Amino acid sequence: MFEKLEELLKKYNDLTEKISDPDVIADQEVWKKYMKEQSAMKDVVDKYIEYKNIEDNMKEAKELLNDPEMKEIAEEEYYSSKEKLTSMEDELKILLLPKDVNDDNNVIIEIRGGAGGEEAALFAYNLYRMYTMYAELKRWQIEIIDMNETGIGGLKEVSFMLKGKGAYSRLKFESGVHRVQRVPETEASGRIHTSTVTVAVLPEVEDVEVEINQNDLRIDTYRASGAGGQHVNKTSSAIRITHIPTGIVVACQNERSQLQNKETAMKMLRSKLYEKKQEEQDSKLAQTRRLQVGSGDRSEKIRTYNYPQSRVTDHRINVTIYQLESFLNGNIDEMIEALIAADRADRLKEGNI
């Protein structure tokens, strides 16, 4: 680990020199690249420098242990430093874990009703509300891309973007099948129904990360629609793009102009193609990754929301929270932190540093 830290420190110092070089500054693209690299290293380098300083203090204290006049102070400094170093080694291991390059990106979320008909559509709305309320707590910007509503307040499907630094890092483990157990308002006998909703979480990616051949696209325009007159346009401003080689279809009808809808739909297409590319590059990861959406069948669940018991259980990490109403109001950080910690523990166990 310490060899890797020394290499990282050397590279960080080299980059510090480069970004101060007038020739590099003159080439803004290269300068930005170096700045981004250095920024990604800063947290671990700062922690390692702090570690080295405490290590020096411990060595100095050790040398003073044989001095009768300084022994008491030296002992206190020595053992205090030793304890700090042990704790910091664990922190450094975590900081050295490979960072997901998309963690700081904006995020695109798709929610679709699975098994359960109208009840699934109603719960799809509940999840949409939960994530947008969470975004509001984080002061992220919310942009609806496409929305297909039902007549009684449910959502057959909805796609939206959350814009904020670190949005993907916080929400990437939300992908999968979410199961709800509750008594529908239309159920006269009081019988509990089980329904499912699928959630897909994609990072927003830049144009340079995914090349799209315009000849591979079929672009259709249509009139936007929505329940109660919402999103209704008199012109064909809504856009549907089909990527012919993969069969991926994206749509956007929320913006007022056709051009804006096309730009947003292309963002979504890039994210979907990027995700597909990532999975193809690492088939092993694609088979084991927690973020797979699945088909929406009741048996393929990552989380259960049980209304009668007011509990939320994440089955991947066996964590249960008995505050369902608060959770559905966007207070989901406790679960998110638990998922991040579990993922980190898995990677540390694998020695992936």
Please answer whether residues 336 and 135 qualify as being in contact, where contact means their C-beta atoms are separated by less than 8 angstroms. Answer: no
Q: Region 180-199: what's the mean pLDDT?
A: 84
Residue 124 reports pLDDT greater than 80: yes
Strands 176-182 and 193-203: antiparallel
Backbone angles phi, psi at 153, to 5 degrees: 95, 5
Residues 6+ away with beta carbon under 8 Å from 300: 176, 177, 196, 294
Average pLDDT over every residue of 36-40: 81
Domains of the chain with CATH codes: 2-96 (no CATH), 107-345 (3.30.70.1660)
pLDDT-above-70 percentage for the chain: 87
Q: What string of DSSP letters covers 309-337?
A: TTEEEETTTTEEES-HHHHHTT--HHHHH
- Rounded Cα distance between 169 and 343, Å, is 12
Query: Bigger pLDDT: 90 or 45?
Result: 45
Q: pLDDT for 298-336, tens place per residue?
A: 446 899 999 999 999 999 999 999 999 999 999 999 999
Model confidence at 209, pLDDT cuts 50, 70, 90, reads low
Q: What is the mean pLDDT of residues 86-95?
A: 83
Q: How far apart are CA 58 and CA 53, in angstroms?
A: 9
The CA-based angle 138-101-200, given to 5 degrees, is 60
Q: Which range among 120-129, 177-186, 229-238, 284-293 shows the weakest confidence by mean pLDDT?
A: 284-293
Residue range 269-303, pLDDT digits in tens:
888 888 777 766 555 444 444 433 344 444 468 99
pLDDT at 287: 45
Cite the beta strand spans of 30-175 per DSSP E.
Answer: 107-113, 141-149, 155-163
pLDDT at 286: 43
Cα separation, 353 vs 350, whole angstroms: 9
Query: What is the C-alpha separation between 14 and 124, in angstroms, rounded?
Result: 50
What pLDDT was estimated at residue 184? 83
> Taking the CB of residue 217, how many other CB atoms lie within 10 A of it?
15
Distance of CA 164 to the CA centre of its chain: 11
pTM over 0.75: no
With cut-offs at 50, 70 and 90, classify the pLDDT of residue 136: very high
Q: For 66-75, what is the mean pLDDT?
A: 86
- Residue ranges with strand state E in the chain: 107-113, 141-149, 155-163, 176-182, 193-203, 217-222, 238-243, 248-252, 303-306, 311-314, 319-321
pLDDT for 231? 45
pLDDT at 159 over 70: yes
Summarize the confidence of residues 47-71 as an average pLDDT: 88
Mean pLDDT of the chain: 83
Question: CA-to-CA distance for 174 and 155, rounded, in angstroms?
Answer: 18
